[in-house]
Structure 1
Amino acid sequence: MSAHILIVEDDRVTRMRLGGYLRGLGYRVTEVEDAGSMEEIIDSDPPEVLLLDVGLEGKDGLTITREQRARSRVGIILLTSRDEQVDRIVGLEMGADDYVTKPFDRRELAARIKNLVSRIADIGRSAPRPGAVDDFGPWHFDRIRHRLVSAARVEQLTGQEFDLLNALTSNPGITFGRTRLCEILGRGTWQPGDRTIDVLIGRLRKKLEADPTSPEWLLTRPGEGYCFVPP
């Protein structure tokens, strides 16, 4: 069955054109204009991916992202006409998997959707390489359910958080540059000024490190990238 894409966009022309384009690619598409209609669809026919306009009237895309990430692992791609770096960073920090700035190339958006759908479909399929670390400190890395589990709490991981931690813990001691990590996340070649990887690392540190400002496991290698240091 084709993936279900839910478009939440208050501009009717943009919504219809995007919906028609994605249907032409074989996706099952539902189009709504606001958060209330979106929640009705999610309750009755949960999508694999949400395409969210950040600038929705009423409950905006960032608020929706925060709420949905707290209750599900649905893939979230933000559509924004804002060109401010801070808006993109805030969206990622709230749990979005990706973002596209309007006006966007439909083929680029389709590629990002395809990569995200593939990652969602691959939950539990990829086995870690020999030497991968599943247990460190108080944490057990549950690769099947995409979460970190300790005796005190459970931290659910977004798709990109999982992909990043999976790559690093499967290769303990190996430093990954930002370009390689962008490729792993399906974002293509890293460009100077793109802080996606840094934001994701920051989110992971907040979830698993006792002191995110002085990390024990997810370390920065200045001028090189990031690595996971085993216990």
Structure 2
Amino acid sequence: MDTTSHILVVDDDRDIRTLLAEYLDANGFRTLTATNGHDMRQVLAESRVDLIVLDLTLPGEDGLTLCRNLRAQSSIPVIMLTARGEPLDRILGLEMGADDYLAKPFEPRELFARIRSVLRRTHALPPNMAAEQLQTLYFSGWALDLTARHLLNPEGVVVALSGAEFKILKVFLDHPNRVLNRDQLLELTQGREADPFDRSIDIQISRLRQKLGDDARTPTIIKTVRNEGYVLAAGVSAEQP
């Protein structure tokens, strides 16, 4: 059985594709490449892929569109590459369901470390927490469907979540009544350390509160602990109350 992780690099820059393929292959991965969305889908249809390295600025369908469409039908981890340094581009990538991002230019060894981190988190789910066994988590009258990856309000109405919102809510539900700081939330959701100027976690929590109807001034579900972080102030159950 082939246990080597298969990495798909999607980038329209031939030099980058070649450089990454050679580096990743030399460090124990099997690397596949594609130049655009059409080629990416063809590779996915024909080969096993464990993680996708996806450039943001592709011709035709850009990386954000491809990531969003991919996430609607697959849980394959995605690391987004971007030549842009604006925080908004990073946040959009995470909102579309990317697991991590890396700004160009970068060192191949940094991408290698990010890939290993994302794969480690992907493979770390214990057998008793597999999605087919644990399908729904209930809290404060709400329910998070782990299979469909959406939220149900107390009236049973579906509330759509972005990939980033789903991940951060799942982290809170896995650690109820425990204060989590930004460093911990970034590590648990994206597998990276916090940048002092990175406010993506705060933005995601703000959007998640809006969807939960949790007043930002006096939240009752996801509370802010001054100078410490955030806490899910609710009991969590795998069985419907």
TM normalised by structure 1 equals 0.81
Task: Return the match for 2:31 from 29, 39, 45.
Answer: 29
The equivalences for 1:105-120 within 5 A come to: 105-120=107-122
CA RMSD, aligned part only? 2.9
- Partners of 2:183 and 2:214 in 1: CA distance: 27
Offset at 1:5? 1.0
- Partners of 1:68 and 1:39 in 2: CA distance: 9
In structure 2, the partner of 1:169 is 173
Q: What SS does structure 2 have at the residue aligned with 1:180? A: helix
More moved, 40-49 vs 59-68:
40-49
Task: Return the match for 2:15 from 1, 13, 16.
Answer: 13
In structure 1, the partner of 2:49 is 47
Q: What are the ranges of 5 or more consecutive residues in structure 1 without an aligned counterpart?
A: 128-132
Q: What SS does structure 2 have at the residue aligned with 1:123? A: coil
In structure 2, the partner of 1:130 is none
More moved, 6-15 vs 71-80:
71-80
Q: What are the ranges of 5 or more consecutive residues in structure 2 without an aligned counterpart?
A: 130-135, 236-241
Tell me if 1:136 matches 2:139.
yes
Alpha carbons of 1:155 and 1:27: their partners in 2 closer, same or farther (altered >3 Å)?
farther
The equivalences for 1:1-231 within 5 A come to: 1-125=3-127, 134-141=137-144, 145=147, 147-148=149-150, 150=152, 151-153=156-158, 158=163, 164-185=168-189, 187-202=191-206, 204-205=208-209, 209-210=212-213, 216-231=220-235
Offset at 1:110? 1.0
TM normalised by structure 2 equals 0.78
Task: Please say if residues 146 and 156 of structure 1, whose CA atoms lie closer than 8 Å, have aligned partners that are also in contact.
Answer: no
**Count of residue correspondences:** 223
Offset at 1:76? 1.0
In structure 1, the partner of 2:132 is none
Percent same amino acid at aligned positions?
36
